Amino acid sequence: MLYYIMELQIMAAGESYLKSTAAFSDRGNYREVFANAVSKICTDVKLGGVRSCLAIGPNEGLCEIEFIKRCQTNISKFIAVEPDHASAEQLRRSLRSSLPGVESQVFETTVQNWKGPDVLVDLIMMFQVLYRLSAVERQEFLKTVHDSWLVFGGYVAVQTNIRTKLLDCTSTSLIFEQLGTPLPTSEEIEADFLKAGFTKHYEHEMRVKRDLRDPDEDLIPFYQMDRVITLAELREAMKGLISEGNVNDFHVMTIFKSTN
């Protein structure tokens, strides 16, 4: 049943996911905030020993490629799992042009349906994708990642859109609450990582400004979780926020390490 919902969600987003990423991005300063954050993170966390990486749900890969380049990793292998066809095609092109000489593989499927990498990897990136898994799936997935996909001493870089403890009235977390699909808290996600055997290595918070006035169809893929939503529902859920103009999207990048 869960897989059916997942497929439904991806089909609903369909070919439009790639197009909508650009439209969504134009509504805020996410790229700029992300680039600044990664510069800081990679000064603090040394990832020069990373030779292979896996990206879960990278879409066209803008953030993941930026992370790999800014962190001065020494990768020779980039594996990706991306279910959206148009995004996977664009990702293949981006990998060829941005990381020439790096062997790349793009698997066009969901992470739940994927068999895993043939070899253990040094780094796994999960940016804005973990909340696409249910709580139970997330726990099982992180255990598999820890036990079977990552080298001992390897890193997982996780970026999530967090639900703040005190929901402030200009936070986009409210939209997910209104739609009946609240985001997991960063504490819940961290607890899952610790339970799977990881230790928390580093954390950096980001605040992205977004202009959500005049919401259109392009925003739907970003707020659609375990059921298909309509534009009318999304507008209703955004009502209080729309009048605010610029609203806050809170993100956190956490680096976990496999140490046992």
Ligand X SMILES: C[S@@+](CC[C@H](N)C(=O)[O-])C[C@H]1O[C@@H](n2cnc3c(N)ncnc32)[C@H](O)[C@@H]1O
What is the contact surface with ligand X in residues (CB under 6 A)? 6, 17, 56-59, 63, 81-84, 87, 110-112, 127-129, 132, 222
* Range list of H helices, the chain: 2-13, 16-26, 30-44, 62-70, 85-98, 135-144, 173-178, 186-196, 220-223, 231-242
Token couple for 105 = 């593989």
Could you tell me the smallest distance in angstroms from the CB atom of residue 153 to ligand X?
24
**Bridge partners for 90 per DSSP:** none
Could you tell me the smallest distance in angstroms from the CB atom of residue 124 to ligand X?
12
Could you tell me the smallest distance in angstroms from the CB atom of residue 111 to ligand X?
4
Q: Which of 63/71 has CB closer to ligand X? A: 63
Could you tell me the smallest distance in angstroms from the CB atom of residue 260 to ligand X?
27
Q: Which of 52/161 has CB closer to ligand X? A: 161
Token couple for 238 = 């955004």
Evaluate whether 122 touches 93 at the Cβ level (below 8 Å): no
Q: Which of 104/112 has CB closer to ligand X? A: 112
Rounded to 5 degrees, φ, ψ at 92 are -60, -45
**Bridge partners for 123 per DSSP:** 53, 155
Q: Which of 205/259 has CB closer to ligand X? A: 205
Q: Which of 21/153 has CB closer to ligand X? A: 21
Of 102, 61, 104, the closest CA to residue 84 belongs to 61
Burial of residue 169 (CB within 10 Å: 0-12, 13-18, 19+) is exposed
Could you tell me the smallest distance in angstroms from the CB atom of residue 201 to ligand X?
20
Could you tell me the smallest distance in angstroms from the CB atom of residue 26 to ligand X?
14
Q: How far is CA 31 from the centre of its chain?
A: 13
Rounded distance, CA 179 to CA 188, Å? 20
Q: Which of 101/128 has CB closer to ligand X? A: 128
